[in-house]
Structure formats: structure tokens, C-alpha cells
Structure 1
Amino acid sequence: MKLIKLDAIDSTNDFLKGISATQELENYTVVTAENQTKGKGQMGAVWNSEKSKNLIMSVFVKDLLVNSDEIYKLNIATALAVIEVLKTFSIKNLSIKWPNDIMSDNFKLAGILIENSFKSDGSITTIIGIGLNVNQTDFDNLPKASSMAVVANATFDKDELVVLIVERLKVNFELLSTNPDVLWKSYLDLLFKKGIPMAFSIANQKPFMGIIKGVSNRGKLVLLLENDRIEEYGIKEIQMLY
């Protein structure tokens, strides 16, 4: 694994995209930053992080996907990799809030943003961005956020976490080609609030109740509604109110 450490950058994902466009990168090239000024999350959300306290990393992966139908499997493999590493540090009550926020109880510990580039030769390259709250303890303006330090009442080595996460990514990506059903089952078993009546919202509509039943192969959230209908929703279509 090639590791590039930066002090400050607008976005580690954007940095990796930029250098991958001009040079041939080694598979599993990793970029980390102590501070990120324009961190991104799903649907354009901003990822805020206290300088030097948290893990901000992006991983370049190539020759992994064969076609676009497999894209959501990357979310599954990545989310599970982070979960599996956190478990080794006794972080409690872990779950995955669809599509790929990592939770401890009702608090968010990590977010994942995966961006794919489709080349003219048919190949697909992937950049996996992971923001993990590690040693930050002040979340006054982020009531739904927490960190490894808060949950475990300890401090952690961010460099060690980088190595462990990449190692687990490699294992899970191998499983994608050999036994993806194992990853799917683990992911579905860990879904945040699965099987519990929850409020959801859709733009310009009143909130409604639904029960998470699972996630489709295309990555859509599968809900059982009050009228006993099963509906599927994409990432930009629905928000859980919790």
C-alpha cells in the first residue's frame, strides 16, 4: 500500500481523482489528511472534522468492478470493513445506517463516500473516502455525532487504523468475487433500525411511518409502509427521521 500523508487539503477524494488522472497509481494507494476543508458526504453533505483528531482517508482501487451493476457491493464491503475494524477495539452497538453511515447506538461515528470513474476502455476505477471520528470529543454542534474516543473512553492511533482498514478492505473485496452473499447477509443484519417502525420524509411531503425490510441489489432502501405496500427508495429520495 502506498501512503500519501497531507497536512491539509480541500478533499482527499478530489486529490486522488486529480493525481489518478495524470499518473498510473498503485492499487490501494491511500491519501490521508490532518485537515480537510471541503470534505464531502452523500448528497453533497459537508463532512466537518476537528483538525488532527480524526481519520480522513481515501483509497484508490482499480480492476475491481466489471460492470456498473456491482457498484453497490462496494458500499457493503467498505461499510463492513470499517465495522470489523471497530469491533477489534471494542466499539459497542455498531450498525450501518443506510446506505453507509457507521453508527454506535444512535450516534454517527463514520461516513463513507464512494466515487467511480468509467474509462473509455470499459474499466472502472474507484475512490473510497472514509471519514472516521477517532479522538475528537467535542460535538456540541453535532448532536448526532460521536467518536471512538467518546464510546470507548480511550485514545487511538490513526495510522494503525489506516493499515487495519485497508487490510480489511482487501479481504472484503476478495469476498466480492468469491462469496458476496456472506457480505450481503452481514450488511443486512447490521442495518440501523431494521424491523422497527420509523418516521421518514420525502421532499415536499408529510413525514410517514415505515419499517426497514432490507436493501435491494441496486442499493435502494426497501420499506414496508402502513398500507402494507413494499416500496423502494433511492439515496436522494428519502431521509430517515431519528
Structure 2
Amino acid sequence: MSIIKLSAIDSTNSFLRDMIANGVVADYTVVATQNQTKGRGQMGTVWNSEEGKNLMFSVFKDLSKHEVVYPFYISMAVSLAILKSLKGLNVPNLSIKWPNDILSANNKVCGVLIENVIKNKLESTIIGVGLNVNQTNFKGLPKASSLKKITGVQYNVDEVLHDIIGNIKFYSEMLEAENYKAVKDAYEANLFRKNKPSTFKNAEGVMFSGFIKGVSKYGKLMVLLEDEIIEKFDLKQITLMY
């Protein structure tokens, strides 16, 4: 495993993508930075972070020798890896908010952005992680929090990084061994608001109620609606209001 540490960069995902374009990148190459000026999240959102207080990194995962039929399993595996690390740090009330935000109670502590590299097939993936570790001020972000804000503990950021990478390897090996059901079952068992009455908003802004039942192998959220029909939604179709 190679870790490239940068004092500042626009985006660790973009840095890794440029590395891939310019040559061969070793499996589990990690790019980490103390200051990410243009961090990105799901659906084009921006990830802001105080310099030096949080974890902002990307991991290159070579998939050329392992066919991934359903790419969402990568997202599930990464979510479980982060969850396992945070449980080891005694962070309470952890869950995964579909598709791959990590929450403590109702507060977001971590976001993940996965960008697949596809040529003739899925060749590799870039796993971008933004984890709030020691930052405690989140002005204008009422649903954001950090490990320190929740537990009161000051964490060694490098130690947390190494632990997460180790757990990403652990769950990646589960996928390579084709233990797909175990990964999916564990992911669904930790889904935020699973089997609880929840309110959603569709792409047209219409609010409706339902129960999260799980995810499809393609990563769509399965919601039980009032007419007892389970409907599947992708990320652009639905927002969980909580």
C-alpha cells in the first residue's frame, strides 16, 4: 500500500484519476490531503472541511482481475468498512444513510464518492472518503457532526486512516470471494430508518410516506408504499427527509 500525502489539493479523487491517465497505479494507492479545496460529494455537492482536522482521502482499487457484475456492492463494502472502523472507536448510534453517508444518530459524519473507471469493462474504482474527525464547528450545517463532537475524544487522523483502509481491504476480499449476500445483508441491517415510517420527496418535489425495506443489487432504494407495493428508486428520483 502506497500513501501519498499532500498539504493541499483540489480533489483527491481527481488527483488519482490523473495518475491513472498517466500510467499504472498500484492497487490500494491512497491519496490523502489536509486541505481539499474542491472536494465533491454525491450529486455535485461540495464537501467543506477545516484544514488539518479531518480525513480527506481517496483509494485506488484495481478490479481488472475481479469482475464486479453489480458495482453498487463496492459502495456497500466501503460503507461497511467505515462503519466497522467507527464502531471500533466507540462512536455511538451508527447507521448508513442510503447510498453511503455514515450517520451517528441523525448527524452526518462521513460522505463517500465512488467513481468507477470503465474501459471495455469495469477496470478500477476510485473511493473518495470525507470523514469529519476533529472539527467541531459546522456553521450553517445543522445535520453535520464529527467524531470529536460526538465523543469528546481528540483522534489521531493517521491512525483512523490506516484502520479504514484495512477494513476496505477486508470487505473487498469478501467481494473477491463472492460473499455478496453477506455484504448486502450487513449493509441492509445497518440502513438508516429501515422499517420505520419515513417521509420522502420525489424529483418533482412531491412528498410521500413509506418504509425503507432494503436495496436492490443495482443500488436502488426499495420503499414499501401505502398501497403495499414496493417501489425501487435511484438517487435522482428520491430524497429521504429526516
1:116-150 deviation line (CA, Å, top 9, x unaligned): 11124x45111000000000001121100110001
In structure 2, give the amino acid aligned to 1:41: G
1:187-225 deviation line (CA, Å, top 9, x unaligned): 000000001111100122421111101100100000011
Residue in structure 1 matched with residue 62 of structure 2 by the alignment: 62
In structure 1, give the amino acid aligned to 2:159: E
Residue correspondence of structure 1 range 88-237 to structure 2 within 5 A: 88-120=88-120, 122=121, 124-178=123-177, 179-237=179-237
Would the aligned equivalents of 2:64 and 2:122 in 1 still touch at CA under 8 Å?
A: no
> 1:78/1:65 Cα in 2 relative to 1: closer, same or farther (>3 Å)?
farther
> 1:203/1:126 Cα in 2 relative to 1: closer, same or farther (>3 Å)?
same
- 1: CA distance, partners of 2:228 / 2:93: 30
Residue 76 of structure 1 aligns to a residue whose secondary structure is helix
Residue 81 of structure 1 aligns to a residue whose secondary structure is helix
- 2: CA distance, partners of 1:185 / 1:173: 15
Residue 36 of structure 1 aligns to a residue whose secondary structure is coil
Deviation at 1:41, TM superposition (A): 0.7
Structure 1's unaligned 5+ residue stretches are: none
TM-score of the superposed pair, with normalisation by structure 2: 0.96
Is residue 46 of structure 1 aligned with residue 46 of structure 2? yes
* C-alpha RMSD of matched pairs (Å): 1.3
- 2: CA distance, partners of 1:65 / 1:143: 43
Residue 165 of structure 1 aligns to a residue whose secondary structure is helix
Deviation at 1:50, TM superposition (A): 1.1
Would the aligned equivalents of 1:66 and 1:123 in 2 still touch at CA under 8 Å?
A: no
Which sits farther off after the overlay, 58-67 or 156-165? 58-67
In structure 1, give the amino acid aligned to 2:139: D
Structure 2's unaligned 5+ residue stretches are: none
1:46-98 deviation line (CA, Å, top 9, x unaligned): 11111111000000111367456320000010000000001111000100000
Number of residues of Structure 1 aligned to a counterpart in Structure 2: 241
Identity of aligned residues (%): 46
- 2: CA distance, partners of 1:57 / 1:43: 19
Would the aligned equivalents of 1:65 and 1:71 in 2 still touch at CA under 8 Å?
A: no
Structure 1: 4+ residue segments shifted above 4 A: 64-68
Deviation at 1:10, TM superposition (A): 0.8
- 1: CA distance, partners of 2:169 / 2:157: 19
